[in-house]
Amino acid sequence: MFISSAFAQTAPAAAAGGDMQSTLMSMLPLLLMFAVLYFVMIRPQMKKQKEHRAMIDALAKGDEVVTAGGLLGKVSKIGDSNIGVEVAAGVEVQMQRSAVVQVLPKGTLK
């Protein structure tokens, strides 16, 4: 008595396809932003990490390196995760391999 009957109305077949297209068009900017973010930020960062890992794996005794703290020295000992860097005559510092930022050309340190 108090509740009126509700009748469902079916959408025409052409409108259903148009609804799918509008949903895709509304998601297009989001997909484009993700693609730009991937190619501008994520991919170069992954490449840089890969190069850094290769540099750390290639460290050898006698290499001249720069550390993340700014120390310059010559690699004197190499372990699995640590290296010994001679920063001055007779002064050796133990540090993690990942702290090496750059390998200098031979003869840079005198």
Per residue in 41-58, pLDDT (tens digit) is 999 999 999 999 999 999
- Is a pLDDT exceeding 80 seen at residue 2? no
Predicted pLDDT of residue 96: 95
Q: Which amino acid, 61? A: K
CB 87 within 8 A of CB 69: no
Residues 43 and 87: beta-carbon distance below 8 Å: no
The CA distance from 21 to 5, in Å, is: 33
With a cut of 60, say whether residue 16 has pLDDT above it: no
- Residue 109 binned pLDDT confidence (cut-offs 50, 70, 90): confident
